[in-house]
Amino acid sequence: MPQKFDVLVIGGGAAGLLCAIEAGKRGRRVAVLEHADRIGKKILISGGGRCNFTNIHCQPQDFLSANPHFTKSALARYTPADFLALVQKLRIPYHEKTLGQLFCDNSASDITNMLEAECRAAKAKIILNAKITEVSRDTQFAVRCDSAEYRAPALVVATGGLSIPKMGATSFGYDLARQFGLKIVPPRPGLVPLVLSPPDRKRYSGLAGVSTDVIAQAAHTPFREKMLFTHRGLSGPAILQVSSYWREGEPIQIDLAPDRDATAPMRQASARNQAAAETAFQQFLPKRLAETWLHHNAPSSWTNPSLAALEKHAHAWSLTPSGTEGFDKAEVTVGGVDTNELSSKTMESRKVPGLFFIGEVVDVTGHLGGFNFQWAWASGASAGRAV
């Protein structure tokens, strides 16, 4: 006999759990079907184990999507203050780290425990180890698992993106969207380290571990944060941010000397040579980076026009990465269920009434800094209030 509910939520991550809480609070009989042996595995590893659960400065501009207006309604109806009210109600200690990013003081498990407790209070049932074999729709949605069948008039897909397959990420949500005739914006890794081309790797891999403050940009979108050299390429917040905008074959630009006149000390110096340049660049770059970068980017001479060219180069160092570190290392998936297919107020499919998509499976990707969770909470709440 199938078990009957008002709402079935597939995926017990950030978006699915918030949706279940909101729907349960409205008296809906909700079941969350999670294929893993516990809920919120990604929440547990997020923010270095302390979960950067929101950003108090969250704005629609902090998200990438083919439709930049899509996030507005959901973000306005469920704000960082709404999620913070939950955190404060449960007396979870937290702090602002930087740039409005809120982290747990203790552990990300405070957040999963809170979500689990709120699900219980809202009488939303969580079913773990649910291996779904088939989803169909007649008058209702039917979800078949190995040993049970569940039916409901509303089905919410909250299965996340493709990043970190070893944490349980699957293409299930995209496959289901296709099954019901919805379009997908091709998924690609976002917030991911970039791999340098073989010649650049040879030049710069010796700098692995060195980091510096830069303005990095791709597709005319700049981010001023730290950049870190790795054995294979570049990482650090500035690079993770631009990686979401970067397209295969395109260059990224790096300003190594934000707000500085890098060559000023040289123009005044009596000696103009490589050593003087290294001394000047060490005022704003770590020593090894200053030496290595100048070694590979030395001007042809030390005349005023050459120094001007060097200055320009230091502010717009252009590199063409050969790729990214892929979904194994990506924090998020860019792309997903096409927002044109969904109502921005409820996340319901325009074509298939009763079918909802929320969280990372949708073509909405936040910048680094708590925005991806805020999207998960906000889109989850939108659907939870509509189902």
How far is C-alpha 135 from the chain's CA centre? 28
Residue 172 has which token pair? 């299930």
| Residue 27: CB minimum distance to ligand FAD, A | 23
Question: 83 or 246, CB closer to ligand FAD?
Answer: 83
Q: Token pair of 132, please?
A: 């779904």
Per DSSP (E only), the strands in 238-367 are: 252-255, 317-319, 323-324, 332-337, 355-357, 365-366
Binding mask 17-56 for ligand FAD (x = CB under 6 A): ----------------xxxx----xx--xxx---xx----
At residue 341, φ and ψ (nearest 5 deg) are -85, -10
Residue 359 as a binder of ligand FAD (CB under 6 A): the answer is yes
Q: How far apart are CA 24 and CA 150, in angstroms?
A: 17
Site string for ligand FAD, 146-185 (x = CB under 6 A): ------------xxx--xx---x-x-x-------------
Q: Give the Cα separation of 365 and 334 in Å (integer).
A: 6
State the greatest distance between any 2 C-alpha atoms of the chain, in Å, as a whole number: 89
- Which residue of 9, 14, 184, 294 would you call a contact of ligand FAD, by CB under 6 A? 14
Contact set for ligand FAD, span 95-124 (CB under 6 A):
none
Binding residue (CB under 6 A) for ligand FAD from 8, 9, 12, 143? 12
Please, are residues 145 and 133 in contact by the beta-carbon 8 Å criterion? yes
Burial class of residue 260 in the structure, from the number of CB atoms within 10 Å of its CB (0-12 exposed, 13-18 middle, 19+ buried):
middle
Considering the complex, state which of residue 62 and residue 255 has its C-beta at the smaller distance from ligand FAD: 62
> With CB under 6 A as the contact rule, which of the stretches 74-82, 269-277, 285-293, 371-379 interacts with ligand FAD?
371-379
Cα 176 from chain centroid? 22
If the CB atoms of residues 225 and 331 are measured against ligand FAD, the closer one turns out to be 331
- Spacing of C-alpha 136 from chain mean position: 31
In the bound state with ligand FAD, the residue whose beta carbon lies nearer, of 195 and 347, is 347
Out of 7, 16, 20, 152, the residue judged to bind ligand FAD by CB under 6 A: 16
- What is the rounded CA–CA span in Å between residue 22 and residue 86? 12
The reply to whether 190 sits near ligand FAD by the rule CB under 6 A is no
Site residues (vs ligand FAD, CB under 6 A): 10-16, 33-36, 41-42, 45-47, 51-52, 130, 132, 158-160, 163-164, 168, 170, 172, 331-332, 359-360, 370-373, 376
